[in-house]
Amino acid sequence: MKTVRHSEHTLRTALISKNPALVSQYEKLEAGERRLMNEAFQPASDLFGPITVHSQSDWITSHPEPPQDFEEFFSDPYRKTPSPEKCSIYIQCIGPLGNTQIISEEYVKWLKSYCEAFFYGLTVKLLPPVPVSATKCSFRVNENTQNLQIHAGHILKFLKKKKPEDAFCVVGITMIDLYPRDSWNFVFGQASLTDGVGIFSFARYGSDFYSSRYKGQVKTLQEKSSHDYSVFDNYYIPEVTSVLLLRSCKTLTHEIGHTFGVRHCQWLACLMQGSNHLEEADRRPLYLCPICLRKLQCAIGFNIRERYKALVRWIDEESSGTPGVTPKHSREDNVNLPKPVEAFKEWKEWIIKCLAVVQN
Ligand SMILES: [Zn+2]
Ligand SMILES: [Zn+2]
């Protein structure tokens, strides 16, 4: 295992920059906010630590990219910032997310409220869910894994057409695996920054995808059925667990982070680190390092303390609905699906430590 450790000076410059205008912008932040962000270059910080590289297949070794410090982010002419007219993040479900309609509905509400806390200050809206057939995308059975896959690029075209007027971005989510082109095995997600659309699949985040007992294997897909979307009826959906929810929240916020022009983080352990495989994605934390946090704050304008409080509230809230309001369920009465947040508990402790620094 290797550690990517930057000097105090490098981290300080990446965060604050040497540009006098950006330094003075930094100095105008609340004292508590600066105290928290300055943890980036405290060698003994127990909040932020270096990136660890475990193998040659890890992102940082296999995809060399130029790093992006705050100043580079700030002066990037192509990055997109939400405007009062375009300040909503839309989530579009493609196919069911859970095995019953209720689970699907709850699941997407958990994701919506999570994104609302994470991108604090922006509105997150749900587009009515659509079946795979509505997208008219191509699909196939993967030769190696025998699971159904849908064409990511076709989904992006569909999302672009549906993008509402007030959308900052539209993210499609699905439990069906994706492929970007015929010669590729699979892809976790694909996005177009210029169009502000992305599609992400959580199919491989279930506990059994990589096991031989995976129930999503399709034996044959006959020629004649290439336009017959009935293969998706009752197709296997992984069970909703706390780990699946955690992985989905991480992917969604990482990918939406890119739509603001935040590139892969190479400074500290951070949600915005690139990841090449599931094990590496699991190792990546849920939180933003101070450099990426400043980028997001600059784009959205939130108060860091209020944002952390909202994230703690999300973990504490049992269900997705407005507190005190019982969710309406038309077909099954009194269904109260608790939000599986066990996997987030450790993170909650971390946020509370950050809050103590911000509020001190
Ligand atoms: Zn990424
Ligand atoms: Zn970062």
**How many angstroms is it from 236 CA to the middle of ligand 1?**
27
Report the separation in Å between the CA atom of 191 and the middle of ligand 2, taken as the mean of its atom positions. 20
- Over residues 278-292, the pLDDT tens digits come to 888 888 999 999 999
**What pLDDT score was predicted for residue 319?**
58
Which letter does DSSP use for residue 26 in this model? H
Residue written as token pair 């375009």: 86
pLDDT at 223: 55
| Every domain of the chain and the residues it spans | 2-79+265-322+335-359, 88-223+231-249
Element containing residue 353 per DSSP (H, E): helix 345-359
CA of 244: how far to CAs of 25, 65, 96, 203, 240, in Å? 39, 29, 15, 9, 6
Task: Give pTM, 2 decimals.
Answer: 0.92
Nearest CA to 103 among 233, 238, 208, 210? 238
How far is residue 66's CA from residue 1's CA, in Å, rounded to a whole number?
Answer: 22
From the CA of 330, how far away is ligand 2's center (Å)? 43
Q: Tell how far the Cα of 272 is from the centroid of ligand 2, in angstroms.
A: 5
From 106, 255, 279, 317, the catalytic residue? 255
Query: Which H/E stretch holds residue 292?
Result: helix 290-300
Token pair for residue 300? Answer: 């959205």
User: 288 C-alpha vs ligand 2 centroid, how far in Å?
Assistant: 5
Written as six digits, the tokens of 99 are 């095995």
CATH annotation of 88-223+231-249: 3.40.390
Distance (Å) from CA 271 to ligand 2 centroid: 7
Residue spans of the chain under pLDDT 50:
224, 322-327, 329-334
CA of 343 to the centre of ligand 1 (A): 22
Respond yes or no: is residue 85 known to be catalytic.
no
Give Cβ neighbours of residue 227 (< 8 Å, ≥ 6 apart).
Answer: none
Residues 6+ apart with CB under 8 A from 299: 79, 81, 82, 260, 261
Identify the pLDDT of residue 133: 95
Q: Give me the pLDDT at residue 280, please.
A: 82
Measured from the alpha carbon of residue 259, the closest ligand is 1
Ligand with an atom nearest the CA of residue 270:
2
Report the phi/psi class of residue 196: left, alpha or beta, with left for phi > 0 and alpha for psi in -120 to 50: left
Model pLDDT, residue 318: 75
Structure tokens at 260: 């603001």
Contacts for 309 with CB less than 8 Å, ≥ 6 apart: 355
Q: Closest ligand to 255 CA?
A: 1
| pLDDT tens digits for range 201-224 | 999 998 888 887 888 888 766 654
CA 142 – ligand 2 centroid, Å: 34
Structure-block tokens of residue 170:
């539209």
Specify the pLDDT at position 305: 97
Quick one: which ligand is closest to 257's CA?
Answer: 1
Q: Among all ligands shown, which has an atom nearest to the Cα of 189?
A: 1
Q: By the 8 A CB rule, do 264 and 281 touch?
A: no
On whether the CB atoms of residues 46 and 302 are closer than 8 A, the answer is: no
Tell me how far apart the alpha carbons of residues 280 and 267 are, in angstroms, rounded to a whole number: 16
Residue 31: predicted pLDDT: 97
